Amino acid sequence: AQSVSQHNHHVILSEAASLELGCNYSYGGTVNLFWYVQYPGQHLQLLLKYFSGDPLVKGIKGFEAEFIKSKFSFNLRKPSVQWSDTAEYFCAVNADTDKLIFGTGTRLQVFP
């Protein structure tokens, strides 16, 4: 069965710090990969996605993620975080099924 692991449960950063959130999945075949963001009190919104092609994917608000097939990873990065990036971040995987499986989420707090 597919599974998604997000090892960072809670990350606290100061503004301008760099961010990297880990995401690993378990499936050996073709995958679609997603990062969603949930701002406080809101629903989930798509941050970026990978279907095929360039493994370095650019998303909204300066976020990017790199698909490394050999490591089964899709880590999210941002060079310089802002207070407004405070949110919960979810990695998700779809692999040859009709279902999207989510990780447990990483709560990011950014302090001014």
Position 90 contacts another protein (CB under 8 A):
yes
Encoding tokens for residue 61?
A: 């608000």
Residue from 68, 104, 109, 111 touching another protein (CB under 8 A): that is: 104
22: Cβ contacts below 8 Å, ≥ 6 apart? 5, 6, 7, 8, 73, 75
- Should residue 42 be labelled a site residue for another protein when binding is judged by CB under 8 A? yes
Smallest distance from another protein to CB 70, Å: 19
Contact 92, 103 (CB under 8 A): yes
User: Per rule CB under 8 A, is residue 103 in the interface with another protein?
Assistant: yes
**Which residues of the chain form contacts with another protein (CB under 8 A)?**
6, 9, 30-32, 34, 36, 42-46, 49, 51, 90, 92, 94-105
